[in-house]
Structure 1
Amino acid sequence: MADLIDLTEHGEALYADPHAVYAELRELGPVHRVRLPGTEPWDSWLVVGYEEARAALADPRLSKDVSRIQGPTLEERVLGKNMLNADPPQHTRLRSLVTRAFTARRVEAMRPRVQEITDGLLDAMLPHGSADLVEALAYPLPITVICELLGVPEMDRAAFREMSNEVVAPTSAEAYTAAMHDLGAYLTELIEDKRCAGPADDLLSALIRTTAEDGDRLSGEELRGMAFLLLIAGHETTVNLISNAVRVLLTHPEQLAAAVADLELVDGVVEETLRYEGPVETATYRYAAEPLEIAGTVIAAGEPVLIGLAAADRDPGRFTSPDSFDIRRDTRGHLAFGHGIHYCLGAPLARIEARTALRGLLERAPTLTLDAPPANWLPGMLIHGTRTLRVRW
């Protein structure tokens, strides 16, 4: 058995700068058995090397369906099955049904609305001279976009934010369980309301109507599970992509100056942020469906495996000077959106939102600077970012 490395010993420093910890781990090897921080610390394998992470993301021996290993999780019992906790052929079926409704055309059609929302948020923010960027722009843009896309009523969004925050960065096991049950009840009611209301143009209504060529449709439980995945993944990640991009730019003045001088570099800002300080620190759990080896390390059947996306994307074996933030870098191959059959379905929408927000912000507030040191880091190892980001201009 490999030596256990206790990550809880790093305390809050792990949340503020996980990259320093991952660099130490990579020096020791690409795969480690670790004790993870959280409301209930537990042990897992952690993959920190790029090549090993990329291979593991596409390895069918690493199951996303934990019910095959240890029975249904709380999430699955309360919310139902979604693409992220399913393996083929179930995953193939679910993803096929969702992509029939969540099309490239539907995403591209959102572009003018994303611009309109961004402009409105900046109109409200800029006269004040300073703001919490998360509260003023990074949060309201993606939550508005995903809620409009799915058809979530505006009056529900504040309550949804509280539930969502607790799910991705739990403050306690009890609060997490309560948030899961609240989300399950809310989504059940939302789906039933849409069934009763009849045809509408939002994505959730389209998912309710979607039928495969063989007549297959999403069940009520599957609709709830998919709505949960799209709502949570559709905004929490993008909130932190936008705020991380601004935070990193403001701590790299030469890169900020280059982007302000040439807004065509904004696409590079987004992609380098995804590699350098991506919002998803580790992919959600996989479980060894059978005994296997990763880089010579034996992992027994049933054991959990975390794939470190942030760790892999700073691997010097893959990216030159990986700890340097360079918006002109060739970032192709980064793993911020995953790899293989679970590659993020919402990546095109996230890119549209982040590019639009950053371009608008840099164009209209070229003197942007930090108003306070970054703090209030999100706990856990799923999402990396801060709850607040004070800026001025």
Structure 2
Amino acid sequence: MKLTVVGGGSTYTPELVDGFARLRDTLPIEELVLVDPAADRLELVGGLARRIFARQGHPGRIVTTGDLDRGVEGADAVLLQLRVGGQAARERDETWPLECGCVGQETTGAGGLAKALRTVPVVLDIAERVRRTNPDAWIIDFTNPVGIVTRALLGAGHKAVGLCNVAIGLQRKFAAHLGVAPAEVHLDHVGLNHLTWETGVRLGGPAGEDVLPKLLADHGELIAADLRLPRPVLDRLGVVPSYYLRYYYAHDEVVRELGTKPSRAAEVAAMERELLEMYAEPALDEKPALLARRGGAFYSEAAVDLAASLLGDGGSPYQVVNTRNGGTLPFLPADAVIEVQAAVGPDGAVPLPVPTVDPLYAGLMANVTAYEDLALDAALRGGRDRVFRALLSHPLIGQYAYAEALTDRLLAHNREHLAWA
């Protein structure tokens, strides 16, 4: 089995490699190819990756290359984890929206749109090159904004599934609260990427007992603190929203906070410099503890599980993924990409049935889906008016004066990445 990671020079990669090494019985990789144009960085990450495999006795071969076509040729699955423009672009995404009184964040709001505009054309080019060399390969997208990117891939006819680590992170935390193994916890997870709610927490599988009320009663304070939302909000909702919902439920509070501290991008950039220094140490043969603060917790477990199921070599029968809606959520278009529990196998991901969704969540999902429609249109066809329409439609913006000012700033900060600008 050959698996290729595009963006393999990321400081995330040792987390992924550690999972491949530990879970080799689930996903028996013979060749792992790390593709990245940043040669110096790639060699540091690749060297550590080989040492991790050696330490854990993994027999697989690790190849590093800057040649995308060579890297994806013959791959059974291609995992995308790239960041167009690097941390410098992320820093801008997180700062210029604040000038207009809007959330500055890399996956939602105006910053998320900027990232989508930069990313979608690049990802579609990569996917076409994968299709030319190996049309049977699965594409697993971990590149944000996952929902929009996955929708672009599916719309172009690619074999693609989107992956996010929010659900697996909550599953692990809930399992710890309940004192059970993570595999025993099945989430009734519904929404769009970075716009999700846990409406049930079941023990043993989709038909298991729902222990969410008990979980909130016994551990609500800890869960609320982790989400940085007031406990009474969780009690009134009766569900657990993802931490990204704080951008919607406490927008003005978040904007004030973001204006008083360094951006997350600046923090991550500093961590990455330190991590790369660690990776250069020949004696290091395991992922460093600092990597846990970088983000992407349990990413490797989720990626191994998904790849194993898609390639027919194992994996959990049900997984939270980003896939086509079809008729799962009847209030959304069939071609929308939703994030839900799905049965995953060699033929792809089939969403499990979802009970009727409370209008409180359905309305916000429908609004953000409409924004994603317009965002993808802007990413595929370009044009200032399309950018403005997407921004105006977003529930975190929604005022024409803000949308005008944000459009100007988005274009000014991203011209080098937008062929049409």
Both structures adopt the same fold (TM-score exceeding 0.5): no
TM-score when normalising by structure 1? 0.26
**More strand by proportion, 1 or 2?**
2
TM-score when normalising by structure 2? 0.25
If asked which structure has higher relative contact order (CA below 8 Å, sep 6+), I would say 1
